[in-house]
A and B are shown apart, each in its own frame.
Chain A
Amino acid sequence: GIQVEQSPPDLILQEGANSTLRCNFSDSVNNLQWFHQNPWGQLINLFYIPSGTKQNGRLSATTVATERYSLLYISSSQTTDSGVYFCAVEQRTGNQFYFGTGTSLTVIP
Chain B
Amino acid sequence: NAGVMQNPRHLVRRRGQEARLRCSPMKGHSHVYWYRQLPEEGLKFMVYLQKENIIDESGMPKERFSAEFPKEGPSILRIQQVVRGDSAAYFCASSPQESGNTIYFGEGSWLTVV
Complex CA–CA separation, A41 to B37 (angstroms): 10
Indicate if A30 sits at the interface (CB-CB under 8 A). yes
> Would B42 and A41 count as touching, CB distance under 8 A?
no
Contacts of A99 in B (CB 8 A): 35, 42-44
Complex CA–CA separation, A96 to B93 (angstroms): 11
Q: Which of B12-20, B72-80, B103-111 contacts A (4 or more CB under 8 A)?
A: B103-111
Indicate if B69 sits at the interface (CB-CB under 8 A). no
Complex CA–CA separation, A86 to B35 (angstroms): 14
- A-B contacts besides A30-B99, A96-B56, A99-B42, 6 pairs, CB < 8 Å: A42-B108, A45-B102, A50-B100, A88-B43, A95-B48, A97-B45
The interface centre, meaning the residue of B41, B59, B100 with most chain A CB atoms within 10 A of its CB, is: B100
Complex CA–CA separation, A97 to B105 (angstroms): 12
Contacts of B89 in A (CB 8 A): 41
Query: Interface residues of A: mostly helix, strand, loop or mixed?
Result: strand
Indicate if A63 sits at the interface (CB-CB under 8 A). no
> Would A101 and B56 count as touching, CB distance under 8 A?
no
A41 with B108, Cβ < 8 A, contacts A96-B45, A100-B42 known: yes
In the complex, 10 of the A-B residue pairs with CB atoms within 8 angstroms, ordered by the A residue number, are A41-B110, A45-B1, A45-B104, A45-B105, A94-B56, A95-B48, A97-B103, A98-B45, A99-B44, A101-B41
Contacts of A33 in B (CB 8 A): 102-103
A101 with B107, Cβ < 8 A, contacts A45-B1, A96-B48 known: no
Contacts of A86 in B (CB 8 A): 42-43
Which residues between 34 and 87 of chain B lie within 8 Å of chain A, taking CB atoms?
A: 35, 41-45, 48, 55-56, 58-59
* B31 (CB) vs chain A CBs: closest residue: A95
> Would A96 and B59 count as touching, CB distance under 8 A?
yes
Complex CA–CA separation, A98 to B46 (angstroms): 11
> Would A42 and B107 count as touching, CB distance under 8 A?
yes
Contacts of A100 in B (CB 8 A): 42
